[in-house]
Structure 1
Amino acid sequence: MTLSRLPRLFVYYRGSAFTTHYHKYKYAQIMRHYAVVATILSLLLTLSGCKTDITFAIPGHPLLFGDEPEYSKTEYPIVLVHGLYGFDDIFGHEYFYQIPKVLRNGGAEVYIARISGTMTPEVRGEQLIPQLEEFAAVSGQSKFNLIGHSLGAPTIRYVAAVRPDLVASITSVAGANFGTDVADAEFLDFPPTRLITGLMGNLLGHAIDFVSQDNFEQSILATLDVMSVEGIAVFNSKYADALPSALCAADGNSLVNGIYYYSWGGNVATTNRFDPADLVQAAVTKLIPGDDDDGIIPRCSMQLGHVIRDDYKMNHADHLNWFLGLKATDAPYAPSLYRAQANRLKGLGL
């Protein structure tokens, strides 16, 4: 399916404005119906195992506008590093949905890391390092702009600390830089529940590996331990570069040891009632005190280096453009944030 086959109403052509013949209420009604259709098609395609290049987008989505040929063309390649239970591609659905495509359209050289979906940042970082060395051999470049989502943020921070020669910049997207209260949930202190969590969590990790054709060691309990208050304190004492002086201070150094550090995130748990991921985040956010989180990670935990913003009206999955770009009506599209960051790095000669 291509955009040309979608109803003409849904295509926002370059240089034209949405027709004034439709009142605002009519536009909203149409978008609600379209969101339902897009979600259903997404689930059917995923369940069917079909490999697809279909791009669903609604008016205003950057994927409909093409791109400036070199807008995202950074000096050093970009490497996208997934978070907990992440993957590169499952049945045609990317973890960073459509984001590599948008970056490449703007001239960027983009690689996708393949590392364990669980484990500690150190273990995942050690898995990433040889891949960076392979990417360097392929690209001819010696450094990379690393972008990590969620658990991917402390993972790439570890790499920057132990192999700074491979890193030009670090960008944390909804990163768990100060852990998450989810890892300190009381049920994890009860041995039987902890055992079940470990077994089921590892099984899920291996299942994701199987369908994504990977085979990594898994330990959800190792992940939860390091993401707890005590665990992340130990981790951050070893790898403190660009962290703020205190939780929520947002004053981390943007340049440390020749490496630039950036971060952004959101603070809304649910953003679109048609997005299946919102159901999960609506449940998980109840484990986090207050309401200043993205459904998985507290807002203050996301801060690292130069904080671009930590209050986007986006939840944890929205930063990945899940599902099919569904989002809050007044939130930015995830691909546009990655494009802007690539252009920012380009401006620094990175």
Structure 2
Amino acid sequence: MASDVMKFADQTGSSDLLNVLISSFGKVIMWVQSLDGNAFPHNALAAGHSTSIEGTAEFNQRFQLGLSVTPCGEGKYQDQGIALYSMTGNTQVTNPLDVGDAAMKVLDLISAHKGGTNDGIVSVCSAKFGKTIRDDFPWNHLDEVNLLFGLKGTFAPDPVAVYRQHANRLKLQGL
């Protein structure tokens, strides 16, 4: 998906502009969180590569813990003493008041996973890692990390509560 966006930007000569816009958006997010945006450099082109099909393949080649050996399957639940879990959303548009939903839908429309279930950025199959807690949360990629004022779908579970529940799961396992 990211590689599609970057290829489109390269073809239209807008990659530098895209880098500035996305990197600036990152600085705004840092500012909203009262963090120094300059202390954490942003590079949309590097992020685009790292999340592209090619970049993800490079990462997965280097770090194979928890990866499935079958398409859309689960990986090892534990490897080298590390408990491995994943969870993901499967919806792009979740709340009409959330401006991020429009971005998730646009990214879905121009992405490489056309027709596949996804959260607007990552396909459900690509998100599987270790033991899958759940792969059908009614969240988009921004909902999963509680961005943009914590807006989510009306009946969708609260991501903060889900992560707190997962932290308790890990604590009960002695991790």
TM over 0.5: yes
- Kindly tell me the number of residue pairs found equivalent between the two proteins: 169
Matches within 5 A, 1:257-272: 257-272=80-95
TM-score, structure 2 length as denominator?
A: 0.83
Q: Which has the larger radius of gyration?
A: 1
Matches within 5 A, 1:139-178: none
Residue 122 (structure 2) aligns with: 297
Is the CA contact 2:2–2:49 (under 8 Å) kept in the aligned structure 1?
no
How many Å apart are 1:191 and its aligned residue? 6.8
Is the CA contact 1:272–1:278 (under 8 Å) kept in the aligned structure 2?
yes
Q: Report Cα offsets for 1:130-158 as digits up to 9, x if no partner.
A: xxxxxxxxxxxxxxxxxxxxxxxxxxxxx
Residue 330 (structure 1) aligns with: 155
What is the SS of the residue equivalent to 1:311? strand
Matches within 5 A, 1:63-78: none
Structure 1 vs Structure 2 CA RMSD: 2.2
Residue 230 (structure 1) aligns with: 54
Q: Report Cα offsets for 1:223-274 as digits up to 9, x if no partner.
A: 111211112111110111111114412x201111111111101101011212
What is the SS of the residue equivalent to 1:201? helix
CA distance change for structure 1 residues 286 and 307 in 2, over 3 Å: closer, same or farther?
same
Residue 70 (structure 1) aligns with: none
TM-score, structure 1 length as denominator?
A: 0.44
* CA distance in 2: counterparts of 1:275 and 1:329, whole angstroms: 12
Q: Which of 240, 248, 254 is matched with 2:64 structurally?
A: 240
How many Å apart are 1:323 and its aligned residue? 4.7
Residue 317 (structure 1) aligns with: 142
How many Å apart are 1:308 and its aligned residue? 0.5
Q: Report Cα offsets for 1:80-102 as digits up to 9, x if no partner.
A: xxxxxxxxxxxxxxxxxxxxxxx
Q: Does 2:14 correspond to 1:190?
A: no
Q: Report Cα offsets for 1:305-327 as digits up to 9, x if no partner.
A: 11101111111122233455443
* CA distance in 1: counterparts of 2:51 and 2:147, whole angstroms: 24
Residue 20 (structure 2) aligns with: 199
* CA distance in 2: counterparts of 1:247 and 1:254, whole angstroms: 16
Matches within 5 A, 1:24-43: none
* CA distance in 2: counterparts of 1:341 and 1:263, whole angstroms: 10
**How many percent identity over aligned positions?**
34
CA distance change for structure 1 residues 329 and 219 in 2, over 3 Å: closer, same or farther?
closer
CA distance change for structure 1 residues 193 and 276 in 2, over 3 Å: closer, same or farther?
closer
Residue 173 (structure 2) aligns with: 348
Any gaps of 5 or more consecutive residues in structure 1?
1-180
Deviates more, 1:238-247 or 1:315-324: 315-324
* CA distance in 1: counterparts of 2:94 and 2:104, whole angstroms: 10
Is the CA contact 1:184–1:229 (under 8 Å) kept in the aligned structure 2?
no
CA distance change for structure 1 residues 346 and 217 in 2, over 3 Å: closer, same or farther?
same
Is the CA contact 1:182–1:287 (under 8 Å) kept in the aligned structure 2?
no
Any gaps of 5 or more consecutive residues in structure 2?
none
What is the SS of the residue equivalent to 1:308? strand
